[in-house]
Chains A and B, each alone.
Chain A
Amino acid sequence: MNFVGLFQSLDASQSTHAKRDALIAFLEQGDAVETALAVSLLTGRKQQRTLKPAQLKQVAGVLYQETPWLFDECYQAVGDLSETLAILCADGLQEANTQDPVLSAWSDLQQQLLQIHPDALPTALYTTLQQLSRDEAFLFLKTASGGFRVGVSRGLVHDALAKVTGMSRDVIDERLMDGLTVSQDWLSDLQRPLSDAEQHARPCPFLLAHPLPDNFESTLSPSDYVVEYKWDGIRAQLIKTDQIIRLWSRGDHDITTQFPEIIEAASSWPGQWTLDGEILIVRDEGLGSFHDLQTRLNRKRVTKPLLASHPARFRAYDLLKLNGVDLREQPLIKRKAHLDTLSVEQSPWHIHHSWLAISQMRAQSRSLGAEGLMLKAQDAAYQGGRKSGVWWKWKLDPMTADLVLIYAQAGHGRRASLHTDYTLAAWSENTLVPVAKAYSGLTDDELKTIDRWIKAHTTDKFGPVRQVEAELVFEIGFEGIARSSRHKSGIALRFPRILRWRTDLTPTDADSLSYFNELLEVAR
């Protein structure tokens, strides 16, 4: 089986079990290089983009010289650029080759296309696609444009790899954190015994928290837990060995170069260790918002003014390795004791004997710039992944607002051709000003009903965006609010999502900008 065959099996199923079986069959039977490249693609690593969307769109000029708008119409109906081109250009009669390896050859072909003069690229791309079957053309473009998603999570791929290699899922997670080296022996390489250097140079799989269960008061005992504030920062591991200092965020991103001040501070801290904690922007008046933190991310250059205006700190709450010893099997309370011996900034923690005391601590969290509490079992080891019952998060209730739908746009992928991306607005005097875009939170039935309503109440169209009559009101929830000069409303909401369709409200009942300004005051 090749990558095309794997895609067809994955695409023809919605059951996780069937998808895992398809992955296992592919890993066991597929060509070694093909499987290595496929795993890289499916786990979202090494998504090197060789062809930009703008370059793909130029094929429209080859297809429809006189009526290029026809391509845009097709793209809107399909909702996916690669699929649109595959339908229009590929040989629809040809059956896909689902056996012989394709990925290595595609990668070469993509590199060759890059060498071609930009003026000749559209025709060359078109000619390439014409020789492929539809599924092949679709996947060729998806792998080239770096936006490949096929409804399998990285975790599912790792599960399948664990099954095929006989290794534990944790080891697979850890070994693939840096990506994998494509070779004939990559699978056997994945099964090699662990070396010491390997143990210590890499971040460990993060232990993730679950929301506190509804019935926690009757099922959990408060004094079993270490209680910390839940900081609204970037989760990260800070690693110092005898040679290097590295900062890793979740999702296996090496963000060392983005936070030079943290690396500099860490260089003066003694010992060799792996710390788990949170990156935060800390100012005189307190913690910066997540919005502040975002301005530090994905910068080509971290400038001095930015370092001065948005200084970052690393606040540790767990110690995973110390001077070559893996502490992860030890109970949390012991790891905390070791952490106390280090001269690093720590997140304060408490042990409370009543839920009342814990809830009082929670009530204070917003004023400290935290978004709730973390409850961590005192006696629990640090096991990577989302192990239930070890770490609980007890977040503050989200802030909410009632907003009016003003624009809608069709979604992508599974939601293509259904209007599911909403722009929601609040009142400013007598006009509605957009304050949030929300994509999730409604049931499929609601989405269908609203989609029908949108189509029947469109007042204007701007490309794929429909302006609709100001009539529908939605209650949204969000985790934070910050001032923003980039938004017309002057505010930016964090994680806005739809909580409910408020069919009981009319647009005049919706909130106004002054309400958000009050929230901003409270958040300060």
Chain B
Amino acid sequence: MISKNTPSRDPLIQRTDKGLYCPQADVYIDPWRAVPRALITHAHADHARPGSSQYHCASDSTGVIGSRLNTEHIVPHPYGESFQLNDIEITFFPAGHILGSAQIRLHDGEQTWVITGDYKRTPDPSCKAFEPVECDVLITEATFALPIYRWPSMDEIMPRIFRWWDANIRAKRTPVLLCYSLGKAQRVMTEIAARSNRGVRVHGAVATLNTHYEAAGVPLCPWERAADAPKGVSQELVIAPPQVAGSAFLKRFGPTELAMASGWMQVRGVRRRAAINQGFVISDHADWNELLETIYQSNAHTVYATHGETRVLTRFLNETTAIKATRLETAFGINQELDQ
């Protein structure tokens, strides 16, 4: 009962030991080894790795990828503007994950494949909103492919953050929000800017990325480097990557109270195990409903699921839809569990 004919032609994407590869265009997508030519969905370390000779990416990502990979061999492409590699037409579309994140569409005249990279559908003022793209074959992430993962809106989360922040001021403790330094930190800062005049202090890793976001025109809240601020208890929120928990970085703030912003905070046991008192469910990945909505909207007859709960997602699609779903092993998402 498959409505479209399954193309008998060679697949546009294969899995090789260097990463996902399109032989027709002779290009790798988010390769995990150095290659001559790469298409990059976004700048997170498990997707953008150093050493390749040429990187194609969405224009909004140029600054971040350039600084993270320390390379000048970047070919930027505006969202929605196609270019050719050999006979393959390639187009970047916004993925809504972080600044400059992209889904990549490959089209050979007959079949269309889309690689989503990491994505989310929840509105995020720090990057362009996800655009649904139709295709024959969809390669999707599946980090949070379980129905327990449903994200609350930022209109619900932000007041909670402000309340927790204020409670810490009253208790004379420094509130420290742990979140990934690229993307999540700037997203929270943009949400703060949209709702208050408050300022924050940031870890050095966050500061570097803030400048790229501001250069791209993203309206962050006022911030300063924690290292430049006076020592002692801070009434301003401190934003830092999760690695600082238990490190010397926190010593300068006196008594601190840690919270973590992550989709994993949806589960109490995960938060307790991380020894975090307060968790805010903020994720830059698609939740269960967003994953399904994206897959259905794509009209793909074949879906490959890459990292996370791929077993659950593919089984669910195979049992409840006519879509042919398969797991695809990749190196994405490794060691990123609590970070993103």
List residues of A whose CB falls within 8 A of some B CB. Answer: 11-14, 63-64, 66-67, 69-70, 73-74, 77-80, 83-84, 87-88, 92-93, 412-418
Contact = CB atoms under 8 A, between A and B. Distances in A.
Nearest to B281: A92
10 contacts: A12-B277, A67-B320, A70-B146, A70-B312, A78-B148, A78-B268, A83-B268, A88-B148, A416-B269, A418-B273
A67 B146 contact: no
Given A73-B146, A77-B146, A66 B267 contact: no
A69 B312 CA distance: 9
Listed from nearest, the 9 A-B pairs whose CB atoms lie closest are A416-B269, A414-B272, A87-B148, A74-B148, A12-B277, A79-B269, A73-B312, A414-B273, A78-B267
Contact of A66 (B268, B312, B320): B320
Interface string B199-220: 0000000000000000000000
Contacts of A69: 315
Given A14-B275, A70-B147, A92 B320 contact: no
Given A67-B316, A78-B267, 10 more contacts: A74-B146, A77-B267, A83-B267, A87-B266, A87-B267, A93-B156, A413-B269, A414-B272, A414-B273, A415-B273
Contacts of A413: 269, 272
Given A13-B277, A415-B269, A92 B152 contact: yes
Contacts of B319: 66-67
B270 interface: yes
B278 interface: yes
A70 B145 CA distance: 10
B252 interface: no
Nearest to B160: A95
A158 B312 CA distance: 46
Nearest to A444: B273
A76 B296 CA distance: 27
A416 B277 contact: no
A96 to B, nearest CB: 12
A87 B156 CA distance: 16
Interface residues of B, number: 22
A92 B268 contact: no
B37 interface: no
Interface string B144-184: 00111010100010000000000000000000000000000
B37 to A, nearest CB: 31
Contact of B147 (A14, A74, A79): A74
B267 A417 contact: yes
B331 to A, nearest CB: 13
A83 B267 CA distance: 8
Interface string B4-25: 0000000000000000000000
B270 A88 contact: no
Contacts of B320: 66-67
B146 A11 contact: no
Nearest to B269: A416
A93 to B, nearest CB: 7
B72 to A, nearest CB: 37
A13 B276 CA distance: 8
Nearest to B274: A414
Contacts of A83: 267-269
Contacts of A12: 277-278
A417 B337 CA distance: 12
A296 to B, nearest CB: 36
A117 to B, nearest CB: 28
Interface in B312-340: 312, 315-316, 319-320
B269 A80 contact: yes
A56 to B, nearest CB: 15
B270 A416 contact: yes
A14 B272 CA distance: 9
Contacts of A88: 147-148
A73 B150 CA distance: 15
A416 B148 contact: no
A79 B273 CA distance: 12
A77 B148 contact: yes
Contacts of A66: 319-320
B148 A84 contact: yes
Nearest to B268: A83
A467 B156 CA distance: 42
A54 B124 CA distance: 41
A485 to B, nearest CB: 36
A63 B288 CA distance: 15
Contacts of B150: 87, 92
B277 A93 contact: no
A427 B114 CA distance: 52
Contacts of B312: 70, 73
A486 to B, nearest CB: 31
Nearest to A73: B312
A416 B264 CA distance: 12
B270 to A, nearest CB: 6
A93 B270 contact: no
A84 B267 CA distance: 9
A83 B269 CA distance: 10
A348 to B, nearest CB: 47
Contacts of B273: 414-418
A74, A77, A412, A417, most chain B CB atoms within 10 A: A77
B323 to A, nearest CB: 14
B148 A417 contact: no
